[in-house]
Structure 1
Amino acid sequence: MDSDEVTVDYISVGGNRHPAAADWDRKTGILAFGADNNIAIWDPLDTNHNGITALLSGHSDLVNVVKFYSPDLESDSFVLSGSVDKTIQVWRMGNTEAIILSDHESSINCIDVLPTSSIFVSGSADATVRVWKTKLIEDQLNVGLVQTISLTPKFFPLTVALSSLDGPSNVLAVAGTKATIQIYVSNNDQFSLIATLTGHEGWIRSLSFTIEVKGSSGDLLLVSASQDRYIRLWRIHQGHELPSSSRATNDPSLGILGKSLSNKAHRFEANDKKYSVTFEALLLGHEDWIYSASWHHTNSKLQLLSASADNSLSIWEADETSGIWICAARLGEISSQKGSTSATGSTGGFWLGLWSPNADAVVSLGRTGSWRLWKRAALGDQWTQDFAVTGHVKEVKGITWSKDGAYLLSTSYDQTTRLHAQWKHSGKQSWHEFSRPQIHGYDLNCVGTISDTQFVSGADEKLLRVFDEPAAVADLLDRLCGIKKASGISFPDAANIPVLGLSNKAIEALDDDEIPVITNGDSRDAPDPASVIHKSTLNFDHPPFEDHLARHMLWPEKEKLYGHGYEISTLATSHDGTLIATACRASSLDHAVIRLYETRDWREIKPSLKSHSLTVTSLDFSDDDRYLLSVGRDRQWTVFKRDDKNRHEYKVAYTNPKGHSRMILEGAWAPTAAGAVFATAGRDKAVKIWALDDGTFECKQTISALLPVTAVACLPVVIDGALAISYGLEDGTVTICIVAIDDYQVRKKIEFDRQILPSKTINQISWRPETFGVDRVEGDRASKAYQLAVASDDTSVRLYCVRDIFFP
């Protein structure tokens, strides 16, 4: 396969909620973060806004820790990653093969490196901290275990920090599920405990060292951030004399608390030099757990960035005259902006904050898995928010294109439905999340578009919900993506979720100077502040920020469709938009029915369609809506045929109770230009192609796979007498087969490069409608480039560009 035959146009994935799960490389400006069991690579300051450019796959479980590491100034950066799978992996940038370290006996929680040195440390839920030594030999990195520190009294390390003292000695700070910090000092590469720092009243989530004055051999400062909502600073001072008394105890803002602050000195020796560790300052201001704290020297000024569960990032610096640490800037959300529901209100906190290499930007990761980015103005300390990458944080179960192919919808077990579209700006093009139509209280299983402005989704709540596009989203897609707003349709301005509700309600946007009306003069009827939207809030010239997506980009709910007795398993919409077919999880004939709903009056068409005895796993209408295909766990496929007189009535026309030897997981129709042809994918590791021949559907071709086939889709166009059938496997593999429609022989097989594939099960594949194909001419032959969307259990949505697939 040519390297340019299949390329990645877009990757959408959310970050893992762990304070150590991301790092921003000082050398390359690349940010790497844990995304499920993968490591996402992103350049936040890329002016082309290409978003996530790659996912490194190697771990078998959640990635908790990501850290960049350079053994020396000249060498390339390596990425260290630690996972719940008990391993540390060492990646070289540009190389997908990793060194695997399997010495830990439980989940890896933290890693810290000593820049341009040969050691790093790791902490695990096995209650040990391990010290590793590296050696770069002919461009190959060798890693060996030097020491295992068993923590006494036993606790789980959640954070470690490493720094060098004068000479060959290093200092290590360890903290976690106790309210104390252990300080270790090395002698001949072996660390020993020299002090235990007390003062915090909760678990400690973050530690970080820095030199007080950049470029000097001055004192070391250690910051500790805790779940007790406080940040503490500690000073490591060289010399027999103690440093001047901490100004923290004289800080008037602490009130009576200042009297209880201990300034006990811990003395130790290293490399024949005397040192002391003393408490330096207490930083108050956060209202909830503090997850991360990191240092940066900016213009000869030392600044500290902290991220908290109170939805804020704080930037701290010492006052030049008093030396008291103050909050110089606060980014994120303020209390009055927080909504009253978890869906559209509070983000659930910031799990980490990171400085850019030049401290001209900061990022944070929130509960929704989405990043926020702020950039510092060239002059002063003014910060402005910019858009960043977003994505699902749990398995993506369903994807579908709008009827015209202008945008893509995805839905996931993270209880959200997201809209992805292409931003066209300044001659550039890039994909982003432009709307979050549904934020739900149940895991979402499937989604389908009824029209270009309406979709339906099914969840674990036994009913389906239909949503209409609001004016704010239609205007945004028109303005930024060139997706023309539908004419002749009245759109509500926006939507919100009422308190304790699950149904999105349409609301009208207010002018900026307009005050919400309180009915009956009763203040109890005052609208929820989160439900009040001003028109200026919905008018911007860039992809939405996470705050916009979480609050203002919902779609109002049009209708609920009832009838099923169990969780919705699959749905399909007819190509003319007049019918919805659905099924639910079932273990008996009574519940394994297919229900049809017409979209004019939203009524169910009786009777329901009966054929299967177990859960129907997939439904698909043929291009002309003449047939409806169903496949199920009972290994059976059934083709229902539309009545010639009543377009809403379907009856069993063909069925095969033994279509596969194991359960059938998906079925898909080929375009009608190929005749009555469909493909089925089964757990028996086979894709079967069926065609209508002599009044019955016969299996014309069986394509064998190495693993169970979990998804299948047909390109909706026939070219040069051939079909393009794509299928996905349980391990994330995606393959395209070019099949001749005259004899159903496989002309060509296109295997995707493993480096660009998902690392877990493929749940759904969807070709973009062929009107979006891009012409490509070679000699006297023409081909098109097509886009293929893939949803996977590794929480990613990926969009591939496939070129020249019909060329020999």
Structure 2
Amino acid sequence: MLQIRTEYLAAGANRHPSTADWDESGILAFGADRNVALWQPQNEESRGVFEILSGHEDIVNAVKFIPGSSNTLLTGSVDKNLIIWKKNTKSGYWENSQTLNHQDSNYHQSSINCLAVAAGANIFASGAADGTVKIWSLDENNVASLRQSITVSPRFFPLALALSLLAGTTDSYVLAVAGTKDIIQLYVLDSEIGPEFNFKATLAGHEGWIRSLEFTRESNSPDSDLLLSSASQDKYIRLWRIHQGKELPAAAASADPSLGAFLPGKSLSNKAHRFKAQGLDFSATFEALLLGHEDWIYSTRWRSGNDKLQLLSASADNSLAIWEADSTTGVWVTITRLGEISAEKGSTTATGSTGGFWAGLWSPSGETVVSLGRTGSWRLWNFNVEQDRWLQGIGTSGHTQSVTGIAWSKEGDYLLSTSSDQTTRLHAIWKRGENKSWHEIARPQIHGYDLNCIDCLGTSQFVSGADEKLLRVFSEPKAVANLLSKLCGIGGSHIEQKPDAANMPVLGLSNKAIEAVDDDVEITNGNSNGRDAFDPASIVHKSTLDLSQPPSEEHLSRHTLWPEIEKLYGHGYEISALATSHDGSLIATACKASSIDHAVVRLFETKDWLEIKPPLTAHSLTVTRLRFSADDKYILSVGRDRKWAVFERDAEQKAIYKLKESDPKGHTRMILDAAWAPTPFPLFATAGRDKKVNIWAKEEGAADFTCKAKISETHPVTAVDFLDKMVRDGVAYLAVGLETGFLAVHSLNVKNGFVMQMLAVRLPSIHPNPSKAITQLAWKPVKGQTDGEVDMELAIASEDSSLRVYSYKPESSVS
């Protein structure tokens, strides 16, 4: 049996204003593709995601904790389903307690966009693109049943909901609904009349879609007025007051008409909307207009448990704003602005933009705020009382699309990953005393094409291939080398000879090396006619590159790029596979192909970056994987044409390879992956869509490779990889990943008739496997360890946008 432990989980958050919620227990849950990721932002160990929940079949849009119940979580998805998650008090892991499936025709029949809960309530609301709002009842065990369905289409589709108990009542609630129109609808549940919500008022004033609604009480008094915040794509926030009593609140009765001057040609309406509940009179009136953002506003959140009312807003203008009413005038003003406060907008440069903030959240204590950006990363700020200011802390990040390729550095010090989100990311362990935690330390490549494959080249270079016809080679800059040395204890060679950093020119795809300047150097932007004007992105101060903790999202995207040192041409279509030799002298590449002419393997030598001709021919369709054997004597290629081919190196000319052997019927369907084993004789595994893993070996004295063993799986096998050292005498470990996300480790005994055995694994959690296909597996290189004492770490890339690193340890009972 193998003991397994989760070392690292990375997943980027979905771009949706309702995709995250922060519970009073300190857990922040957010949608990550079709999964739900759990993170503790205020964890002193600065660990990122600690658990990933799988259950949905499509993108998770809405996430809400049940207030006062720190062990119940609601999630809604594009798959039209609602899931109620509960924390298992014994195991500590979260489990799917109930799925409200769209197959019931009374439930949602389209993508679920928003959820609303209220403290102490036994009901919650959900809104979907089917134009309905569903009201659900919860019993004492938090099991949900449908209570009411409200149709708001064809008027609009709900994008935001807010639910609250009405002041002075025991079980009467007000529900605010808004979405793809510029109005807010109020529905009221009067417990004396019946158990259903009834339409009471329409609040008008916004001029664009409304993306966020939230209620709060004006004070801690149970009879205090309710305030409703609404955030809109018209760049404004409006506050509305729900007051209990026949008299109108003072602000509405004496509204200053001159306030209309803020909006050209518009006046602010102070019309009172009256309704009753439990025999009490209520009025809903406009309270205030908050101006300050320069782009769409995606979310607003009230700070709880504070003497002063504060509102946090997140906007597409790349900023978070904290609003507070002035103590003398009562006018709402911005007291703090966080984020990227500059004239640089999202379309200016690829590295200078964040694309805006999609969500902002308060911590339960109100001492920390986080924001979600376009890149799926979370930024974090903590309030420092001594300095009386907000200081940026350590957030978490991850890919937002399928992770297509992973590669460990040659020494196994760090892990590189590429993705369809058009980024390459470097992950490593931040070491500080006894504490160790994984983080994204650098973002070497931000591209304009989806990235498909990657491999390391030497100790400080890598090559990547994308949906373009060329490959790009990158070299580590001094800034990243110093960061890895300082934070991770990874010693870089010849640091002083490297360029300081890199940047990407406007409208460019190639990272250019730049030099850092001292802090006291005065920078002038050319002469008066602008001829010598410079690109601000090309200037960076040395102090900016000197960090004492893992970089923030802004720093990652601006200052950790690697300069591009070479482009490799020759292919006619998108790059599909690449591999580098273990000695770093060769790069083998292939591209997507539907004919023999393009289904070739091209070799490039890394001394002068020239192609070695002629290319290697064996396949007729796309080559899906290339692998060099441990001694670089062989190159293995597999493809969609169901064929594998082995090329052997010339005994005298080390850069020349020739076809040694191939099998046109290696599998009955396309072959998706392959890997060499660390055996004394050539042995490799191939994985196919025919649900088979075949083991091929050429034993001593044999002329050809023959199939020695087969593993039959339940679904297509999409990834395989051998640990690069034998675990015991004659035993190799093979990791196998399936299209369903299932992961298994097999032992192969080459001394005992090539017997294959799936190893039992003690799982780290209820959901240890990805929820979509595993795209690539990579064992960490084993350094200087004797047989039988191997520390094994496996990196797992998946289509569900998650990147995982698991450590395996054989138990003594393993025979």
Coarse TM-score class (shorter-chain normalised) = over 0.9
Q: Aligned ranges for residues 771-782 of structure 1 at < 5 Å?
A: 771=783, 782=788
Instruction: State which of 565, 571, 584 in structure 2 corresponds to 1:564.
Output: 571
Q: 1:204 aligns with which of 181, 201, 210?
A: 210
**Partner Cα separation in structure 1 for residue 369 and residue 339 of structure 2:** 11
Q: 2:744 pairs with 735, 745, 753, which one?
A: 735
| Residue 170 (structure 2) pairs with residue 183 (structure 1) | no
Quote the offset at 1:215 in angstroms. Answer: 3.4
Counterpart in the other structure of 1:614: 621
Q: How far did residue 131 of structure 1 move?
A: 0.3
Residues 40-79 of structure 1 show CA distances to partners (whole Å, capped at 9, x for unaligned) of 0000000011210010000000000000014xx5x54211
Superposed CA offset, 1:153-185 (max 9, x none)? 521000000001132211000000000000011
Aligned to 1:170: 173
SS in 1 for 2:790: strand
Write the distance in 2 (CA, Å) between the matches of 1:580 and 1:289.
46
Partner Cα separation in structure 1 for residue 579 and residue 791 of structure 2? 26
The structure-2 alpha-carbon separation of the partners of 1:241 and 1:587, relative to structure 1 and needing over 3 Å to count, comes to same
Give the secondary structure class of the aligned counterpart of 2:398: coil
Aligned residue in 1 for 2:138 = 134
User: 1:489 & 1:576 partners in 2: Cα distance?
Assistant: 24
How many residues align? The count is 792
The equivalent of 1:476 in structure 2 is: 483
State the partner residue of 2:104: none
Is 1:151 the counterpart of 2:149? The answer is no
Q: Secondary structure at the match of 2:352?
A: coil
Q: Which amino acid aligns with 1:566?
A: Y
In the alignment, which residue of structure 2 is the partner of 1:436? 443
**Structure 2: which amino acid aligns with 1:642?**
R
Letter of the 2:122 counterpart: S
Quick check: 1:250–1:258 contact (8 Å CA) kept in 2? no
Do the aligned partners of 1:58 and 1:98 also contact (CA within 8 Å) in 2?
Answer: no
Structure 2 unaligned spans of 5+: 88-92, 102-106
- The residue type equivalent to 2:38 in the other structure is I
Residues 429, 563 of structure 1: alpha-carbon distance in 2 compared, 3 angstrom cutoff: same
Is the 1:286–1:308 Cα contact (8 Å) retained in structure 2?
yes
Partner secondary structure for residue 544 of structure 2: helix
User: What per-residue deviation string (whole Å, max 9, x for no partner) do you get for residues 513-556 of structure 1?
Assistant: 22346678852432222221110100011000000001000000
CA distance in 1, matches of 2:538, 2:363: 34
Paired residue secondary structure (2:619): coil
* Deviates further, 94-103 or 357-366: 94-103
1:684 Cα deviation from its structure 2 partner: 0.7
* 2:5 corresponds to: 7
Say which SS state the counterpart of residue 484 (structure 2) adopts.
helix
Residues 1:316 and 2:319 aligned together: no
- Quickly say closer, same or farther: Cα 1:259–1:348, change in 2 above 3 A: closer
The question of whether the paired residues in 2 share the 8 Å contact of 1:343 and 1:439 is answered with: yes
Contact map agreement 2:46 2:394 (CA 8 A) in 1: no
1:90 aligned residue: 84
Report the counterpart of residue 243 of structure 1 in structure 2: 249
Alpha-carbon displacement from aligned partner over 1:328-371 (angstroms, at most 9, x marks no partner): 11110111465864421120000000000000000000000000
Q: Any conservation in 2 of the 1:373–1:388 contact (CA below 8 Å)?
A: yes
Q: Is the 8 A contact 1:40 1:56 kept in 2?
A: yes
The residue identity in structure 2 corresponding to 1:186 is L
Q: Name the residue aligned to 1:283.
A: 290
Paired residue type of 1:718: M
Counterpart in the other structure of 1:745: 755
What SS does the corresponding residue of 2:144 show, helix, strand or coil?
Answer: strand
TM-score (norm 1): 0.95
* Cα distance in 2 between the residues matched to 1:335 and 1:707: 51
Q: Distance in 1 between matches of 2:317 and 2:295?
A: 5
Shift of the 557–273 alpha-carbon distance from structure 1 to 2, 3 Å rule, reads: same
CA separation in 1, counterparts of 2:153 and 2:61? 24
- Provide Cα deviations, 1:715-736, integer angstroms capped at 9, x if missing partner: 0001322000111000011111
Superposed, 1:517-536 pairs within 5 Å as 523-536=530-543
- Name the residue aligned to 2:90: none
More deviation, 210-219/357-366 = 210-219
Aligned to 2:778: 766
- Percent identity between matched residues is 56
* Corresponding position of 1:99: 98
In the alignment, structure 1 residue 541 sits paired with structure 2 residue 535: no
- 1:21-32 equivalence runs, <5 A: 21-26=19-24, 28-32=25-29
CA-CA distance at 1:213 after TM superposition: 0.8
User: What amino acid sits opposite 2:780 in the alignment?
Assistant: R
Counterpart among 390, 407, 411 of residue 397 in structure 2: 390
The aligned counterpart of 1:778 is none
Distance 1:339 1:201 in 2: 23
Q: CA deviation at 1:381?
A: 4.6
- Aligned 8 A contact 2:404 2:451 in 1: yes
Among 106, 117, 139, the alignment partner of 1:113 is 117
SS in 2 for 1:784: coil
Question: Aligned partners of 2:261, 2:768: CA distance in 1, in Å?
Answer: 54
Distance 1:751-1:80 versus aligned 2 partners, 3 A rule: same
For residue 49 of structure 2, what is the aligned residue in structure 1? 52
Deviation, 1:746, is: 2.0
Maintained 8 Å contact 1:339/1:530:
no
| Matched ranges for 1:264-343 at <5 A | 264-297=271-304, 299-336=306-343, 341-343=348-350
Is the CA contact 1:635–1:659 (under 8 Å) kept in the aligned structure 2? Answer: yes
Letter in 1 for 2:415: L
For 1:695, the equivalent position in structure 2 comes to 703
Q: 1: distance between equivalents of 2:737 and 2:546? A: 40
Amino acid aligned to 2:692: A
Please give the secondary structure, in 2, of the residue aligned with 1:783: coil
Structure 2 equivalent of residue 38 of structure 1: 35
1:621 deviates by 0.1
1:625 lines up with 2:626 in the alignment:
no
Structure 2 equivalent of residue 18 of structure 1 = 16
Q: Is 413-422 or 512-521 further displaced after alignment?
A: 512-521
Provide the residue aligned with 1:801 in structure 2. Answer: 807
One of 365, 369, 376 as aligned partner of 2:372: 365
Distance in 2 of aligned mates of 1:318 and 1:489: 53
Residue pair 1:224, 1:232 contacting (<8 A) in 2 also:
yes
Query: Hey, what's the Cα distance between the residues in 1 that align with 2:628 and 2:460?
Result: 20
**Residue 768 of structure 2: aligned partner:** 756
Contact 2:471 2:569 survives alignment (8 Å) = yes
Kindly indicate whether the alpha-carbon contact (under 8 Å) linking 1:421 and 1:434 is maintained by their aligned counterparts in 2. Answer: yes
1:322–1:298 distance in 2 versus 1, CA, 3 Å: farther
Give me the whole-angstrom Cα distance separating, in 2, the residues matched to 1:628 and 1:667: 11
Q: CA deviation at 1:487?
A: 2.6
SS in 1 for 2:94: coil
Letter matched to residue 739 of structure 1: L
Q: How does 1:414-425 map to 2 (within 5 A)?
A: 414-425=421-432
How far residue 678 of structure 1 moved from its aligned partner, in angstroms, is 0.6
Range moving further from structure 2, 434-443 or 720-729: 720-729
Q: Is contact 1:248-1:281 (8 Å) kept? A: no
- The Cα of 1:452 is off from its aligned counterpart by 1.2
Quick check: 2:23–2:70 contact (8 Å CA) kept in 1?
A: no
Residues 76 and 287 from structure 1, CA distance in 2 versus in 1: closer, same or farther, beyond 3 angstroms? Answer: closer
Deviates more, 1:76-85 or 1:336-345: 336-345
Tell me if the contact between 2:744 and 2:758 (Cα under 8 Å) persists in the aligned partners: no
How much does 1:378 deviate? Answer: 2.7
Contact persistence 1:338–1:530 (CA under 8 A): no
Structure 1's unaligned 5+ residue stretches are 776-780
